Amino acid sequence: MPETLRAGLLGVGMMGRHHARVLREIDGVELVAIADPGGDPHGVAGALEVLPDIDALIGAGIDTAVVAVPTRFHEDAALKLAAAGVHTLVEKPIADTVDAGERMVDAFRDAGLIGAVGHIERFNPALQELRRRLAAGELGAVFQIQTRRQGPFPSRIADVGVAKDLASHDVDLTAWVAQSDYVRVFAQTTFKSGREHEDMIAITGRLASGVIVNHLVNWLSPMKERVTVVTGEKGAFVADTSTGDLTFYANGTIPLEWESVSSFRGVSEGDVTRYAFAKREPLRVEHEAFRDAVLGRPSDVVTMEQGLRTLAVVEAALGSARDGVATAFDGAPGA
């Protein structure tokens, strides 16, 4: 493996432009080729020629690639990269269907290559700090994890609904933070914006650990919100992933003398602490993890197998919403 990895980037749209910037900033990686059939709308190519397609990108002689094109094109690009021996980071979700994701997992495993998925929330400093504190037992037993991810409709997303585009973040981060997989989901969806895909989903479920989960996700709110709340034995953690802040609301130890309030709340109010910790850009940390995985170093990269499990849960939630029944898992694909 060369000291400096030759990296290629497929897609320089709204997300791809950030990948281009970070690829140029991190050590041990050189961005040598960019491809996008739509050209370079954000002017990120610099001195590089904008190549027309994935085949031209592979022809540039690359060691690694980032795929940041619409979801329906992930499988075709990834299978060609695997066949060419190129380690690949694909933006989330891994693919538009579980079947496509399984073919991608198989291709990279059979080729002995690193296949990764860009579930960037795992690299958010608030969630990394939250996971560390949960693992250290600071909350005691975990009872519930709820997430809220809502905001205006992004016109750039046309090929999938809000479940695969946004809820996949929450499904992945919840299983990762809790270190436990989903065993049951039930969901409801709405279609309010005149598109074929859902623009609002509410998911409830349970993890193998017994933790109950709830996700509220939509493209119909003028208010942007990215919040994860973990409630447990000793209080509640609130992670705001838009700012990288983590706050702890402790259960109080002072008895309340106001009987009606005490009986209603179940626990009393305690101290509130907002933690100070290092906050690095999640996309940069994600790219460093991918680089390290390719170089054979210890890494927290999100594997394609993990990305496939997340997609399987999201598809099960969509099936639940369609059929009006809960879906149980013995184990998701790739488990």
Q: What is the pLDDT of residue 269?
A: 85
Mean pLDDT of 280-291: 98
Q: Which of these, 18, 55, 66, 54, lies nearest to 282 by C-alpha position?
A: 18
C-alpha–C-alpha distance, residues 183 and 100, integer Å: 22
Average pLDDT of the chain, as a whole number: 93
Confidence check: pLDDT of 321 > 90: yes
pLDDT at 331 over 60: no
The rounded distance, in Å, linking the Cα atoms of 134 and 77 is 38
* Contact present, 229 and 146 (Cβ < 8 Å): yes
Q: How crowded is residue 212: how many other Cβ atoms within 10 Å of its Cβ? A: 15
Whether residue 279 is predicted with pLDDT greater than 80 in this model: the reply is yes
Pairing of strands 245-251, 200-207: unpaired
- Residue 195, pLDDT score: 86
Residue burial 297-306, b: 16+ Cβ < 10 Å; e: rest: eebebbbbbb
Can you read off the two tokens belonging to residue 135?
Answer: 């693992």
Q: Which residues does 63 contact at the CB level (< 8 Å), separation at least 6?
A: 1, 2, 5, 6, 7, 86, 87, 294
pLDDT at site 3? 79
Give the number of residues written for the chain: 335
As a whole-number percent, the residues of the chain with pLDDT over 90 amount to 88
Q: What are phi and psi of 224, to 5 degrees?
A: -85, 130
- If pLDDT is split at 50, 70 and 90, which confidence band does 253 have? confident
pLDDT band at 258 (very low <50, low <70, confident <90, very high): low
| pLDDT computed for residue 217 by the predictor | 98
Instruction: Name the band, by pLDDT with cuts 50, 70 and 90, for residue 259.
Output: low
Q: Which domains does the chain have, with CATH numbers?
A: 5-119+283-301 (3.40.50.720), 122-277+312-328 (3.30.360.10)
Q: Residue 332: pLDDT band by 50, 70, 90 thresholds?
A: very low
Helix (H) or strand (E) holding 178: helix 168-178
- Mean pLDDT, rounded, for 302-317: 98
Element (H, E) at 152: strand 142-152
- What tens digit of pLDDT does each residue of 65-91 get? 999 999 999 999 999 999 999 999 999
The pLDDT of residue 22 is above 60: yes
pLDDT computed for residue 202 by the predictor:
98
79-132 residue pLDDT tens? 999 999 999 999 999 999 999 999 999 999 999 999 999 999 999 999 999 999
pLDDT tens digits, one per residue of 186-199: 999 999 988 889 99
Q: What is the rounded average pLDDT of the residues 45-74?
A: 97
Q: What is the pLDDT of residues 152-171, one digit of tens each?
A: 987 766 678 999 999 999 99
